[in-house]
Amino acid sequence: MSLIGYAARRLGLAAFVVWAAFTTTFAILYLLPSDPILTMLNRGGEGANVDPAAAAALRAEYGFDKPVIVQYLTRLGAALRGDLGRSMQNGQPVVTTIVDALPQTAVLAATALAIAVVVSSLLASAAVLTGSRGLRHALLSLPPLGAAIPSFWLGLVLLQVFSFRLGWFPATGNTGWQSLVLPAVTLAVPTAAVLTQVLAKSLGSTWEQPFVETARAKGLPRSTVHLRHVVRNGAIPTLTMVAIIIGNTLAGAVVTETVFSRVGVGRLTQSAVMSQDIPLVQGVVVLSAIVFVVVNLAADLVYPVVDPRIARVPATV
Amino acid sequence: MTDLALLAPAATEPVVATAPVPPRRRSRRLAPGLVLALVVLALVLGWAVLPSVFAPADPTQVVAADRLLAPGPGHVFGTDQLGRDIYTRVVHGAAISLSATALAVLIGLVVGSLVGLLSGFVGGRFDDVVMRLVDVLLAIPGLLLAMAIVTALGFGTLKVALAVGISAVAAFARLIRADVVRVRGSAYVEAARVSGVRWWTTLHRHVLPNSLGPVLVLAALELGSAVLAVSALSFLGYGAPPPAPEWGSLISDGRNFLATAWWLTTMPGLVVIAVVLAANRLSRALDREGRTR
C-alpha cells in the first residue's frame, strides 16, 4: 500500500474513533432512562411540581420531543460543523466553554507529564543500572505504591504539608508557577508509576540484547551505552502507551483540579456531571477521544524518528 | 443422535488426558507480603460483614466534647469536627465502599466475560464489530466514561458502582476474547468439536475453564482500581449523601480541616491505599500461580 493510502487509512480510523465516541456517549447520555429536562427544571433538588408547559417548551427547544434517530442525526450534523450544543448550566456553546478552559488544563497536564517522564526515566535507569539487588528492589517497589495512592488523597496530603504547614505553595488558584507545582506533582504520580514499570521492564530487556554486548565489547562505558543505545531502544514501548497515558492525565485532571480549585476542563467536567449538564459532558468525552487519536497519530510520526527501521514499514504494509 | 450422545463421553477421554495436569508443586510457604495482603483483605472484609464487632460504637454518634481529637489511645484514628470516631466511621463505611467495589467488579467480570466469550466464540463479522466497540470504549479514559454514565444514571452508591462496573466491561471483554480465541484454536477443542460435542458443552467444559485464570488475575487487579474509582467518584460528590461514612466522602469531608486536623483525611486514605495494595499483591500472586502451572 502506498504512503498516501496508509495515511488515508489512518485518518479514516481516527475519524471513526471520534465518531464512535460521540455515538457511544449519545447512547449513554440520551438514551438511558433519565430525563434531562426534568433534571434541568429541578435544579434545586426540591419541587416535584415541575410546570408541564415549561417542560414541554424546553423539550422542544433541545429537540428532545423528536424521535431518537432524528435527534441523533441532528446532533451529529451539528457536531460535524463544530457545534456540540449549549451547556445546560449557562447556555454558552459547549465548544467555546471547553476551548476557554483548555489552556489551563493543557499547561497542568504538560507539566505533570514532564515531571512523570523525568522521574520515571531516572527511577527506571537507576533500577536497571544499579548493582545492588536491595536498591533495585526498593526502587521497583515504588511504582506499585504510587499506583495505589488515590490522587485526590495525595493532593490533600500535599496541600496539608506544603501549603498549610510549610506555606511554600498557594493552596488554590491558577496564578503563577507556584500554584502549578502541587497539582502537577499530584497528577504526575500515577502517570510516573505506570511509566516507570514499563520503562524498567523494557530497559532491562534491552540491556540483554546482543548489540549492547557489542557496544560494551567495543569499550564504551556503561553510561554511554545506556544513554546512546539502550534508552533509545527501550523507550519505544512507552510510545505506544502515550495516548492512553495522556488520556488518563486528562481524566486525572478532573480530580486534581477539583482538589486544588483550579480553573480548567477537569473542574468544568466535575461541575457538569454534578448538574447533569449532558451536552457539556458529551463534549468532554468527545474531546478526550480527539486527544486520543491526535496523540496516536503524532506517536506514529515520531516512531520513525526514534527508530529508523520503522520508517520502512508503511511502504511495505 | 443417540450415537453421538454415546460417542461423546468416550471421545472426550483422551482430551481430558491431554489437558495440562498440574504438576505436584513443592509445598512452599506463602511470601510474607502476600500473607500481609491476605490479612488486610480479610480484616477489611470483616469490617464490611460485621462492623459492630470491630467497632461497637455508633458511627454517627456525635460527642461534642470530643471534637477534633488527634489519634490517641481512646480514638485510634482521631475524631472529626462533630466528635465522631473516625475509626468507627471507616469500619462502618467498609460495607458501603466494598460492596460498591464488589458490585462494580462483578458487573465488569460477568458482562465483560459474556461479551468476550460470545465475541471470541462466534467470531467473524460479529467479533469484528464487538471488538471495534471495545477499542473505542478503551480509548475513552475509564474515569471519564464512568462520569458520563453517572451523569445519565444520577447519583448514589449503587449508581456509582454501576458506572465503574460498566466502564470496566471493555477490559474484561478484550481479555476473555483473546483467551477464547487462543483456546478455540487448540487441539483439544478441535477434538471435542470433531467428536460431535455440542458447542455450549465445548464452551463450558473446555473453553471457559481454560480462559478463567487470566480473568481472575484481572478481577483482583480490577478490585484495586475499582476501590480507587469508587472512592474518587464519591470524593467528587456523586456517591452516597453526607451522613454515610463512605471512604471517598470521609476523605472529602476532611477537606475543610486540612490545616488543623490532618487525621480526618489521612487516616481513611491510608486504609484505601492498604486495600488497593493488598488487592494488587493478590493479583500478582494469582498471576504467578497461573504462569507456573
Distance between alpha carbon A181 and the CA centroid of its chain, in Å? Answer: 19
Residues B153, A25: C-beta atoms closer than 8 Å: no
In a domain, B11, yes or no: no
User: Domain with B176 in it: what CATH number?
Assistant: 1.10.3720.10
Beta bridge partners of A93: A86
Alpha helix positions (H), A130-177 = 133-140, 142-148, 151-158
In a domain, B143, yes or no: yes
DSSP state of B156: S
In 3D space, the residue among B144, B146, B177 whose CA is nearest the CA of residue B162 turns out to be: B146
Residues A17, B136: C-beta atoms closer than 8 Å: yes
Nearest to A278 among B141, B151, B251 (CB): B151
Nearest to B141 among A159, A247, A282 (CB): A247
- State residue B105's pLDDT score: 93
- State residue A48's pLDDT score: 54
In a domain, B147, yes or no: yes
Tens digit of pLDDT at every position of chain B (293 positions)? 444 444 444 443 444 444 455 555 555 667 888 889 899 999 988 888 888 777 777 777 777 777 777 777 777 777 777 778 888 888 888 888 899 999 999 999 999 989 998 898 888 899 999 998 898 888 888 899 999 999 888 888 898 999 999 999 999 999 888 888 888 778 888 888 888 888 778 877 877 777 777 888 888 888 888 999 999 998 898 988 877 888 888 888 888 887 778 888 888 889 999 999 998 888 888 888 777 65
Nearest to B148 among A17, A149, A285 (CB): A285
Q: Which of B131, B140, B149, B151 is best to mutate for the A interface (most A CBs within 10 A)?
A: B151
Alpha helix positions (H), B123-141 = 124-139
Which residues have CB under 8 Å from B7's CB, separation 6+? Answer: B195, B196
| Domain extent at residue B160 | 54-64+94-292
In a domain, B78, yes or no: no
> What's the ipTM?
0.85
Sketch out chain A's domains with CATH numbers.
3-85 (no CATH), 95-306 (1.10.3720.10)
CA distance A154 to chain B (A): 9
pLDDT tens, position by position, A190-235: 999 988 988 888 888 888 888 888 888 888 888 888 888 888 888 8
Smallest CA–CA distance from A160 into chain B, residue: B258
Smallest CA–CA distance from A249 into chain B, residue: B141
In a domain, B6, yes or no: no
- Taking 50 as the pLDDT cut, the residues of chain A under it are 44-47, 315-317
Which chain B residues have a beta carbon less than 8 Å from that of A20? 132-133, 136
Nearest-angstrom CA–CA distance, A254 and A271 = 10
Interface contacts A/B by beta carbons within 8 Å: 141
Residues A29, B148: C-beta atoms closer than 8 Å: yes
Alpha helix positions (H), A236-312 = 236-259, 265-274, 278-306
Residues A250, B142: C-beta atoms closer than 8 Å: no
Which chain A residues have a beta carbon less than 8 Å from that of B262? 160
In a domain, B149, yes or no: yes
If one counts the domains in chain B, the total is 1
CA distance A229 to chain B (A): 31
Contact predicate B176/B112, CB 8 Å = yes
In a domain, B208, yes or no: yes
Nearest to B276 among A20, A148, A284 (CB): A148
In a domain, B7, yes or no: no
- State residue B6's pLDDT score: 40
Please, what's the b/e burial string for A181-219 (b: 16 or more CB within 10 A of its CB; e: otherwise)? bbbbbbbbbbbbbbbbbbbbebbbebbeeeebeebeeee
